[in-house]
Amino acid sequence: MADAHYQLTLQDETQTAVLATKLAQACAGGGVIYLQGGLGAGKTTFSRSLLQALGHQGNVKSPTYTLVEPYQLPSLDAYHFDLYRLHDPEELEFMGVRDYFAAGNLCLVEWPERGAPLLPVPDLTLQLEVADAQSRIARLTATTAKGQQMLSAVQGTAPC
């Protein structure tokens, strides 16, 4: 399968939440989503919106210091990783990273390049780039059949 791509401009946090809500509809069976972009690009904001769209009640905090935050959602278990402070990918082995990526779980991974080569291939990669103070450019790339389903769920979301 060739990688499929989609790009759109998110004018504000509300449009980010709309994108996350549409994607949530395709995440019921789990999957792996890489979130890429610089500091302040909106990765955690997107994750918060996605987890809330999947039924999480309460705060969604950045797992910057814990590396992973677990969420028991009504239909699946989700894990939000932030590998920004990861010093060595081998640290992931010590925390049993493979267990988190079990079939049926949803894993959102910020800064995935820091966990290479121990992380699985993502179903979908979301690259966020700051366009200005409010807006972001979102580039989505599907690398698996499941990722293609996710991408199909969001296409038509205010493309640029």
Please give the pLDDT value at position 2: 64
Contact (Cβ atoms closer than 8 angstroms) between residue 46 and residue 19: yes
* Report field, pTM of the whole predicted structure over 0.95: no
Residue 126 lies in a domain: no
Residue 56 lies in a domain: yes
Please give the pLDDT value at position 60: 81
Q: Which of 31, 35, 30 is nearest to 112 (CA)?
A: 35
**Residue 1 in this model has a pLDDT that exceeds 70:** no
Domain extent for 22: 4-121+133-154
Residue 76 lies in a domain: yes
Both structure tokens of 61: 């905090």
CATH number of the structural domain spanning residue 23: 3.40.50.300
Q: How far, in whole angstroms, is CA 123 from its chain's centroid?
A: 10
Please give the pLDDT value at position 98: 87
CB-based burial label for 68 (10 Å; 0-12, 13-18, 19+): middle
User: pLDDT digits over 61-90, tens only?
Assistant: 777 667 899 999 988 999 999 999 888 888
User: pLDDT digits over 124-153, tens only?
Assistant: 999 999 888 888 999 999 999 999 999 999
Instruction: List strands edge to edge, sheet with 124-130.
Output: 4-10, 136-142, 124-130, 31-36, 106-110, 77-82, 68-72
Domain count, the chain: 1
